[in-house]
Structure 1
């Protein structure tokens, strides 16, 4: 059985959802890597510049890194900063320090998703995709899983907030002798 190293008070569904986030971002990242490698995943658009390739690879690395941060909402390092991190190591993570960026990220991802699907219909000079049916299908298969990222992140963030604030209240009551 897969051991996920989550905290004992994290709901199993939240652990599974947090682990799903990096997986839903992976296909689009692999598609972008294939694009940079010159594989025929997109219509020929001339040769990609070095800066263009670096941008596409950076986008892939950053998106996967951000997706992996979702694991912090169900792992110990989301509650206490690991000791090896200078200046902050060993300190408790304030719940809002994780919740606010996560919810802002989920909101931004939702906006990007809406823009991606609506832009061709509302912009007068939109770029049209001239791919083959196979390229269109591959693009859809690789990018549609990204639509799950915002709701998964939101659900895991809410579970994190509830868990952290309920525990804080319980610790405060125990300390006060209630």
Structure 2
């Protein structure tokens, strides 16, 4: 047996021994997410199913299609959906969701093929996070920093509710998959003697982090140029709209969100992303809770990906059908937004690598 194989075997044995001598900590409510998230998907489906029936029967407030005058402009995929057809479809899909959610938490669910339950759950996750929302999500998120809440209406609230539902369905699918594999509901591990290489996570996570930082910069640089009085990549007509003090402040904030996001992304591969730096006063040198980083980074990745998907389709389809083209006079308006989709995806990958690298020994099952 070679030296490397001997070291790997001893390492696995050490981890197994540590796990066998491990005293698990009591699980908090959040740590038991894998138990209650299936019921959360059930509750979400029931509520949205009732809304679907309400809209199908002629109730007001249908948040898509005929009631959404800004849908096409905001990149909505549902801008042509009528209330009767859309409400009926929502009600039927959510009825199926109720059955699937029950199958994930009840014993009779084992009679339904696992692949069907997981496929429906992940389809719900992707649809609610990437298909239903549009650019208004990232628009209102950015405007919040400028204390501008005038554009938040029921249509935006509904999109936020759908995104929450998407994360719930995604988490329910993960919990169901872990439970059927008899894996730890907290860390997802099965065998204490096997672990994911932190070296591998560090290597490819670093590349995705650098990529996400580079992709975040173009939009921020253009917006800061506008805030500084430089008409970078825009014509005179567009520039006039950004010359007021309020307009420059908005551009500074929009650019700052991207530049700030790029800087914060560095924390995914730097020591100050794992331990509070010295200037954090009483928190200095304390370990940063992993979810303190992963939760907002995951949400930011989802929002950026949604906005990037919708704007990229709008821009590319406009170029293809001849509606407009990116020229020397307008590239600053449209060009930088084409970086959003790969930015969101690369940020998500970097966040996942950060989580895998930092998760360490599970405090509930003792596995590494």
Counterpart among 141, 145, 168 of residue 361 in structure 2: 168
User: Residue by residue, what CA displacement relative to the aligned partner does 1:15-46 show, whole Å, maximum 9, x if unpaired?
Assistant: 12212222112112222233342426223133
* TM, length-normalised to structure 1: 0.73
Structure 1 residues 26 and 132: CA distance shift in structure 2, 3 A: closer
Where does residue 78 of structure 1 map in the other structure? 273
Where does residue 15 of structure 1 map in the other structure? 206
Quick check: 107-116 or 152-161, which moved more? 107-116
Where does residue 309 of structure 2 map in the other structure? 114
1:156 and 2:350 aligned: yes
- Whether the aligned pair in 2 keeps the contact of 1:110 and 1:150 (CA below 8 Å) is yes
- Whether the aligned pair in 1 keeps the contact of 2:204 and 2:353 (CA below 8 Å) is no
Counterpart among 93, 96, 101 of residue 296 in structure 2: 101
By how many angstroms is 1:142 displaced?
A: 3.0
Q: What is the RMSD of the two structures over their aligned residues, measured on CA atoms?
A: 3.0
Q: Which has the larger radius of gyration?
A: 2
By how many angstroms is 1:141 displaced?
A: 4.0
Where does residue 142 of structure 2 map in the other structure? none
- Whether the aligned pair in 2 keeps the contact of 1:25 and 1:145 (CA below 8 Å) is yes
Where does residue 39 of structure 1 map in the other structure? 231
* TM, length-normalised to structure 2: 0.38
Structure 1 residues 132 and 70: CA distance shift in structure 2, 3 A: closer
By how many angstroms is 1:130 displaced?
A: 7.6
Quick check: 17-26 or 89-98, which moved more? 17-26
Where does residue 341 of structure 2 map in the other structure? 147
- Whether the aligned pair in 1 keeps the contact of 2:269 and 2:354 (CA below 8 Å) is yes
Structure 1 residues 131 and 55: CA distance shift in structure 2, 3 A: farther
Structure 1 residues 59 and 24: CA distance shift in structure 2, 3 A: same
CA distance in 2, matches of 1:135, 1:168: 55
Structure 1 residues 133 and 49: CA distance shift in structure 2, 3 A: same
- Whether the aligned pair in 2 keeps the contact of 1:35 and 1:42 (CA below 8 Å) is no
- Whether the aligned pair in 1 keeps the contact of 2:308 and 2:337 (CA below 8 Å) is no
By how many angstroms is 1:114 displaced?
A: 3.4
* Secondary structure in structure 1 of the residue aligned to 2:212: helix
- Whether the aligned pair in 2 keeps the contact of 1:42 and 1:131 (CA below 8 Å) is no
- Whether the aligned pair in 2 keeps the contact of 1:17 and 1:156 (CA below 8 Å) is yes
- Whether the aligned pair in 2 keeps the contact of 1:32 and 1:56 (CA below 8 Å) is yes
Where does residue 89 of structure 1 map in the other structure? 284
User: Residue by residue, what CA displacement relative to the aligned partner does 1:70-101 show, whole Å, maximum 9, x if unpaired?
Assistant: 11111111211112212211111111111111
